[in-house]
Amino acid sequence: MTGVDPSRPEPGPEASADDLQADIEKTREQLGETVTALSAKLDVKSRAKQAAAHTKDRLAGTASKVAGAARNNQGSLRPAVPVGVIVAALAVGVVIWIRHR
Report the DSSP beta bridge partners of residue 71: 77
pLDDT of res. 74: 52
Hey, what amino acid is at 3? G
Please tell me the predicted confidence (pLDDT) of residue 34.
94
Residue range 23-63, pLDDT digits in tens = 999 999 999 999 999 998 888 888 888 888 899 888 888 87
Query: Model confidence at 3, in pLDDT bands (50, 70, 90)?
Result: low
Report which of 45, 26, 21 is spatially closest to residue 98, judged by C-alpha positions: 45
What is the model's pTM?
A: 0.40
Helix/strand/coil (H/E/C) assignment for every residue in 3-61: CCCCCCCCCCCCCCHHHHHHHHHHHHHHHHHHHHHHHHHHCHHHHHHHHHHHHHHHHHH
